[in-house]
A and B are shown apart, each in its own frame.
Chain A
Amino acid sequence: MTTPAHAKIDAEVKSGDVVLFMKGTPQFPMCGFSGQVVQILDYLGVPFKGVNVLDNDEIRQGIKDYSNWPTIPQLYVKGEFIGGCDITREMFQSGELVELMKTNGVAVRETAS
């Protein structure tokens, strides 16, 4: 089913390699869970686009249906839904997130540690 919200979300999802649907902005996250994902992406030095769902009710509700996922934040890489805060954190801690970025051709800052 294609609705106007669906089309808008589809365009956002495909608007960059890494897109994060979040509450607030990367500079000012309005929710701890969104903030955690921002911190992880920043730590990895991954360039990403933040979409503030609080700005747009259509997207705020629509993204949940689009992904079949009930909560925000939601992380997309190359148009593919990766997960929310818990999954992103687990994948970060296990090193899978770095691998995922590299596999998708997204530049990651190599850290010494």
Chain B
Amino acid sequence: MAMAAAEIERMIKEALPDARVEIKDLAGDGDHYAATVVSEAFRGKSRVQQHQLVYAALKGNMGGVLHALALTTSAPT
């Protein structure tokens, strides 16, 4: 099972409208992605809290349909 990069981006932006999202398909198999997400919502939050915001945006797909998403998050500088 896999998820399209565009769908991942859409879900993240739905929850974090200001987010700048960059997604790379690491293995070209539609199953191993790396995502960089920059959003004002991350400011002042710990890394765990930042990642949890993204996981929440993905509504249960993370760890299930989406097995491998390497995540880098930060607030805009």
Contacts and interface: CB of A to CB of B under 8 A. Distances in A.
A30 to B, nearest CB: 13
B70 A86 contact: yes
Given A70-B62, A70-B63, A71-B62, A83 B51 contact: yes
The dominant DSSP class at the B interface is mixed
A69 B52 contact: yes
Given A70-B63, A71-B63, A86 B52 contact: no
A86 B71 contact: yes
Contacts of A86: 51, 70-72
Interface residues of B, number: 13
Chain A contact-residue range equals 10 to 19
B75 to A, nearest CB: 15
Interface string B59-77: 0101110001011100000
Contacts of A11: none
Given A70-B60, A70-B63, A71-B62, A87 B68 contact: no
Contact of B51 (A33, A64, A84, A91): A84
B48 interface: yes
Contact of A70 (B47, B55, B68, B72): B55
A82 interface: yes
B48 A81 contact: yes
Greatest chain B CB density within 10 A among A33, A68, A84 is at A84
A90 interface: yes
Interface of B: 47-48, 51-52, 55, 60, 62-64, 68, 70-72
Interface of A: 33, 64, 68-71, 81-87, 90-91
